[in-house]
A and B are shown apart, each in its own frame.
Chain A
Amino acid sequence: MSELGIVLAVGEDAAFHAGDRIRVSSRSPIGHYRVPAYLRGKAGTVETVIEPTGIDNEQEGYGRNAGKKLHYYRIAVLLAEIWPDYAGSSRDGLRIEVFETWLEGI
């Protein structure tokens, strides 16, 4: 419930917030998807909630919008987390927008 006492629709409120620790799901769906394979299963932190909500690209790719929108999150993942033998600074990182259905809280 919001400060005004308004009840939000399912998915209208962001499921994750800046600072939350998350993991990118390691599913391998068939078809159109936008989460690069190199990020599956990697842990990171939510940096920003992207407003407004968006249609699921994986549905939209087939001309469906499933009638429901969810948030994208700009997440931060250390390059050393993605590539165990990463040669640069241990602080170097990746930023990417990931749709809510691909994030798991940790």
Chain B
Amino acid sequence: MNTPSERHDHDHSHSQPHTEIRQSAPPGYYETMETAVRELLIERKLIGADEIRRQIEVLDSRTPALGAKVVARAWVDPDFKARLLANGRAACEELGISFYDDTSLIVLENTDTVHNLIVCTLCSCYPRPVLGLPPDWYKLKPYRSRAVSEPRAVLAEFGTIIPEEVEIRVSDSTAMVRYLVLPKQPEGTADYTEDELAELVTRDAMIGVIPVTIDNGRSTP
């Protein structure tokens, strides 16, 4: 494990002032539309400004750390893992992770013979209750189209080489079901505590584009 100071790499010093953050371009088409719809809904008292702010708070409170907790629990507790694979949503709810969006969750286990990868070819469906907002590349067309047509090439670009004898399963989320990949527990972690294991599990491993390894744990902020 790296110590915080080893991981805290900066290419600027804190005393150096940043460029002022400001909006220089006029709002785009969809931004204008969003503002107009939001203002109309508030004006007609269909929703309140506070409800919108609250929902943003809900979304912001979801991060990959929740998914990592789920994965680590599954690694240390075989009964929990069985429940998680049987009903992903119910098992997450057991850990106190609520589902605010009416979706169900299928958890896909990576094994020595199967590697799972998730994508949403139509838009950006993603297991937000357990992982938060998706990364930008997940929402862009190159990943969305190539994940289902040449998954092995996409994985290779993430540095993940899947042997020919391992079957790749790409799950395309399009409707009411969301997916979460349960990565393989890395070798040499049998004596790790649940919290130490959770530290190793990254967002990308739960999307299925990389494996979990001992050295790719989340860097300490």
Contacts and interface: CB of A to CB of B under 8 A. Distances in A.
Nearest to B177: A97
A95 interface: yes
Interface in A34-55: 34-36, 38, 50, 54
Determine chain A's interface SS by DSSP, over half rule.
Answer: mixed
A93 B167 contact: yes
A36 B122 contact: yes
Contact of B152 (A74, A88, A91, A97): A88
B83 to A, nearest CB: 16
A72 B176 contact: yes
A15 interface: no
Interface string B172-196: 1111110000000000000000000
Contacts of A72: 175-177
B120 to A, nearest CB: 10
Interface residues of B, number: 24
Contacts of B122: 34, 36
Contacts, number: 73
Contacts of B148: 38, 79, 82, 94
Given A72-B175, A88-B152, A79 B165 contact: no
Given A82-B148, A87-B150, A87-B152, A94 B177 contact: no
A74 B104 CA distance: 13
A50 B177 contact: yes
A54 to B, nearest CB: 5
B174 A35 contact: yes
Contacts of A34: 122, 174-175
Interface residues of A, number: 24
B150 A96 contact: no
B202 interface: no
A94 B172 contact: yes
Interface of B: 104, 106, 121-122, 148-153, 164-177
23 contacts: A34-B175, A36-B121, A38-B121, A38-B148, A54-B175, A72-B176, A79-B148, A79-B170, A86-B149, A87-B152, A88-B150, A88-B164, A89-B164, A91-B167, A92-B167, A93-B167, A93-B168, A94-B170, A94-B172, A95-B172, A97-B173, A97-B176, A99-B175
Interface of A: 34-36, 38, 50, 54, 57, 72, 74, 79, 82-83, 86-89, 91-97, 99
Given A36-B121, A57-B175, A89-B167, 18 more contacts: A36-B122, A38-B149, A50-B177, A54-B176, A72-B176, A79-B170, A86-B149, A87-B152, A88-B164, A89-B166, A89-B168, A92-B151, A93-B169, A94-B169, A95-B169, A96-B172, A97-B173, A97-B177
List the 6 closest A-B pairs by CB distance, nearest first.
A92-B168, A96-B172, A95-B171, A91-B167, A88-B152, A34-B174
